[in-house]
C-alpha cells in the first residue's frame, strides 16, 4: 500500500507529481521531494519557494525540512536566501552531514558546497506587494504589541507532504517562505522537528501549516503522531491535536492563530484538521485517485469573519474531515 497527503489546494499538483513514483515502488522520501517541488517552482504561490513574499527588508528567506520514519533522521534549513529548492538542500543536510538544521549563511554556504546554483527569489509581483506593504505600514515592527490589531499577515501557508511507500517506509517534508514581511531571521515551526513535521515508520507522519509561533507552542506534529501511536485514526489524531493546541492557547489568554495539519498512518489512512474554515488538502492512495477536500473547523471562532488580526496571533480556523 502507498499513500500521500499534502496541505492546501496547491498540494494537488504535488500529489499528481508523486503518484507515478509511488505507484512504481519509489521511496517515500523522494516522493515528498517530488511533491513539494512543483509548489516551490510555482512563482504565483506567495508562501513557498521562488515568488514567496519577502521579509521586512525585502529579502526572501526560506525554511524547509525532511524526515524519514525508518531511521528518524532529519535535515532542515532555515532563514536561507538565494536557493529555490530548500527541500532538496534539507535532504542533503540529512544525508551529507551529522547535523539536523543549518540556518542563514551557513545553510547557503552548504548549498554552494553541494553544487546548488543561487538565484534571485524575489519576483516582481512579490516586490510590488512588499513595496505596497511598506507604504501601508504593514511590515513587521521590531517589537510588535501583543494585541495590536493589524492586517492578517500574508504568505504563511506551508506546503507539507506525508508519504508512505509500498515497502512501508514513511517520510515527511515541508517548505515555506514563512510569514510575509516578517522580521529578518524569523523562523517559524516548519523546520522544527515535532512542530512543523514528524515521521515514525512504527506509527505514521504529520505536517503542520499556519502561524508558526502558535503551532510550535503545542509541538503539534509530534503530538498527532503520538495520538496515532495510541491507536487513533489519523483523522481523529489531527482533530484532537488541533483542538488541544487551540484550547491550550486560549487557556493561556492567547487568541490562537491559524493552525492546520495533515496526518498519515502506516496503513495508508489519512486525515486533516484545522481551527479555521479556509483549509483544504489533497491526497491519494493505492486504492484511491487524487482527491482534494475542504475541511470543516474543529472549533468555533467568534472572530472567524473578522478582517483584522494581531500580527503575532493572526488566525482563522480550519478543521477536518474523514477521508479513509
Q: 166-176: string of b/e by CB count within 10 Å (b at 16+)?
A: beebbbbbbbb
290 is written with which cell numbers?
487524487
Domain presence at residue 324: no
| pTM, rounded to two decimals | 0.90
Domain extent, residue 157, equals: 3-140+149-309
Would you state the pLDDT for residue 310? 33
Would you state the pLDDT for residue 306? 37
Domain presence at residue 317: no
Domain presence at residue 209: yes
Place of cell 486533516: 272
Domain presence at residue 318: no
105 is written with which cell numbers?
549563511
Q: 84-93: string of b/e by CB count within 10 Å (b at 16+)?
A: bbbbbbbbbb
Domain presence at residue 320: no
Average pLDDT, the chain: 90
Which residues are tagged catalytic? 158
Whether pLDDT at 81 is above 60:
yes
The mean pLDDT of 143-165, rounded to a whole number, is: 65
Residue 283 bridge partners (DSSP): 5, 291
pLDDT of 272-321, one tens digit each? 999 999 999 999 999 999 999 999 999 987 654 333 333 233 333 333 33
CATH code for the domain of 8: 3.60.20.30
Domain presence at residue 98: yes
pLDDT of 187-198, one tens digit each? 999 999 999 999
Domain presence at residue 314: no
Top-confidence residue, 136 or 110: 110
* Structural domains in the chain (count): 1
pLDDT of 22-71, one tens digit each? 999 999 999 999 999 999 999 999 999 999 999 999 999 999 999 999 99
Would you state the pLDDT for residue 156? 52
Domain presence at residue 108: yes
Amino acid at each position: 500500500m502507498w499513500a500521500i497527503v499534502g496541505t492546501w489546494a496547491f498540494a494537488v499538483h504535488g500529489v499528481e507529481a508523486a503518484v507515478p513514483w509511488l505507484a512504481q515502488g519509489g521511496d517515500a522520501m523522494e516522493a515528498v521531494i517530488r511533491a513539494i517541488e512543483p509548489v516551490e517552482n510555482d512563482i504565483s504561490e506567495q508562501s513557498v519557494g521562488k515568488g514567496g513574499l519577502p521579509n521586512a527588508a525585502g529579502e526572501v528567506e526560506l525554511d524547509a525540512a525532511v524526515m524519514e520514519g525508518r531511521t528518524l533522521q532529519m535535515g532542515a534549513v532555515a532563514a536561507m536566501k538565494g536557493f529555490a529548492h530548500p527541500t532538496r538542500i534539507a535532504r542533503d543536510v540529512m544525508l551529507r552531514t551529522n547535523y539536523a538544521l543549518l540556518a542563514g549563511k551557513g545553510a547557503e554556504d552548504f548549498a554552494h558546497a553541494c553544487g546548488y546554483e543561487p538565484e534571485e527569489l524575489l519576483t516582481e509581483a512579490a516586490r510590488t506587494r512588499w513595496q505596497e506593504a511598506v507604504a501601508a505600514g504593514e511590515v513587521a515592527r521590531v517589537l510588535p504589541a501583543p494585541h495590536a490589531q493589524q492586517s492578517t499577515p500574508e504568505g504563511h501557508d506551508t506546503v507539507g507532504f506525508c508519504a508512505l511507500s509500498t515497502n512501508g517506509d514513511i517520510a515527511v517534508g515541508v517548505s515555506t517562505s514563512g510569514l510575509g514581511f516578517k522580521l529578518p531571521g524569523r523562523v517559524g515551526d516548519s523546520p522544527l522537528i515535532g512542530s512543523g513535521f514528524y515521521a515514525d515508520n512504527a506509527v505514521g507522519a504529520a505536517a503542520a501549516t499556519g502561524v508558526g509561533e502558535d503551532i510550535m507552542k503545542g509541538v503539534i506534529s509530534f503530538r498527532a503522531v503520538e495520538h496515532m501511536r495510541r491507536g487513533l485514526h489519523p483523522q481523529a489524531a489531527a482533530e484532537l491535536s488541533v483542538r488541544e493546541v487551540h484550547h491550550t492557547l486560549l487557556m493561556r489568554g492567547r487568541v490562537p492563530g491559524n493552525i492546520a495539519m495533515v496526518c498519515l498512518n502506516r496503513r495508508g489512512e489519512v486525515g486533516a484538521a484545522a481551527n479555521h474554515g479556509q483549509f483544504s488538502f489533497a491526497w491519494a492512495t493505492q486504492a484511491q485517485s487524487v482527491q482534494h477536500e475542504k475541511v470543516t473547523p474543529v472549533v468555533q471562532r467568534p472572530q472567524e469573519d473578522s478582517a483584522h488580526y494581531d500580527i503575532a496571533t493572526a488566525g482563522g480556523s480550519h478543521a477536518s474531515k474523514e477521508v479513509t
